[in-house]
Structure 1
Amino acid sequence: MSEKVVINAMRFWVDDVVIHHNFCPFARFVRHPETIHYQVCTHDNVADIMVALHSACVQLDETAEIATTLLMVPALRRFDDYLDALSLAQAMLAQWQYEGIYQLASFHPEYEFEGEAESSPSHFTNRAPYPTFHLIREADITRALKDYANPDAIFEANISRAEALGCKHLQAQLNHCIKKAQDKA
């Protein structure tokens, strides 16, 4: 699979799933105009993945025009491997002294919230076409949340929306994002 297909699938996912279903009410503001940086890490070695994550942080430091970065890591297909890398990534952000500067959100095609039934549609709020580390500026989150009296309501609304749509529909949307990207390549 080419980097172009991965990036295009993620762009379609941001538009057709995240923004369309309002899973993140802030996404449209960084998508139009495009201030999302899409980066593909083709490595399967966790050390190399961490180097790519650090480079993405440095790029955010140096490039104010980039609001947020989606670092896709297709090699982390197994959700358990992804979770191990995510745990290390969180620790590395602290070690690199980025705690409080960048927040790391996580997305994976097989994402499952601990304690939720395997068949729960809620998992789709964090499912994406490819394993992804999402770097977000903490200052942007703080600024955006000032407009929300109850930020927890966002998560609750997402779960309700996902349950209304159902797993079959949401999985079809993920698959469609990948197919559109492959057709465009």
Structure 2
Amino acid sequence: MNRPQSLNDPVVAQTRAWVDRMVIGLNLCPFAKAPQVKGRIRYVHCEATTPEDLLSRLGDELQLLMRTAPDEVETTLLIHPHTLAHFAQYNAFLDEADARVEQLGLRGILQIASFHPQYRFAGARPNDVTNATNRSPFPMLHLIRESSIDRAVAAFPEAAAIYHANRATMRRLGKQGIAALLAQCRSGAG
């Protein structure tokens, strides 16, 4: 079962704090602030304990996002703390998640971005500080409308530069700075 988004839910509270402090606070995604401020990010604490159950919940959330107007829900964070805790398993699951998007006929309409506490970019060492750009308090799948991406890229023509700026930010913060911010998120402080 997916829990409704509630600030009383510690998983949702920590994730919201991460979005506020890391994603928006460090400007890792210049497009995140508006949906957050307008309350258009759907935070879903998914209780799935198996990849199969998570895949089912993912299908439900993809369909819900399609049925909901963007001015109500722009994007969804499907947070699943009880499954795919190991990054290798999570990373392998992403192929299944993309296949579900395809299966539902949503390719080119919705896409999935990946965030995980152990996130590791291809070719990067596990302790590379730049991996922190995609490290979240819990494993999660970010369901994004392609139309939102198109609007964001049109408004920010240098979108390709974000990746390099984020890496530079992580290097500047260093492991201690990143750890301190993540600790603040774990405390749920917003």
Q: 2:187 aligns with which of 161, 171, 179?
A: 179
> TM-score normalised to the size of structure 1?
0.92
Q: State whether residues 129 and 175 of structure 1, in contact with CA within 8 Å, keep that contact through their aligned partners in structure 2.
A: no
- Matched letter for residue 175 of structure 1: A
- Matched letter for residue 125 of structure 2: A
SS of equivalent to 2:77: strand
SS of equivalent to 2:182: helix
SS of equivalent to 2:112: strand
Q: 1:117 aligns with which of 102, 112, 125?
A: 125
What corresponds to 1:92 in structure 2? 100
What corresponds to 1:53 in structure 2? 58
What corresponds to 2:173 in structure 1? 165
Task: Say which structure is richer in helix.
Answer: 1
User: Unpaired runs of 5+ in structure 2?
Assistant: 4-8
Distance in 1, Cα, partners of 2:103 & 2:188: 39
How far apart are 1:73 and its partner, in Å? Answer: 0.8
Distance in 1, Cα, partners of 2:121 & 2:161: 18
What corresponds to 2:24 in structure 1? 19
How far apart are 1:172 and its partner, in Å? Answer: 2.4
> TM-score normalised to the size of structure 2?
0.90
What corresponds to 1:73 in structure 2? 80
Question: Relative to structure 2, which stretch is displaced further, 26-35 or 78-87?
Answer: 78-87
Aligned residues: 180
Supply the RMSD in Å over aligned alpha carbons. 1.4
Distance in 2, Cα, partners of 1:91 & 1:52: 14
Question: Relative to structure 2, which stretch is displaced further, 87-96 or 122-131?
Answer: 87-96
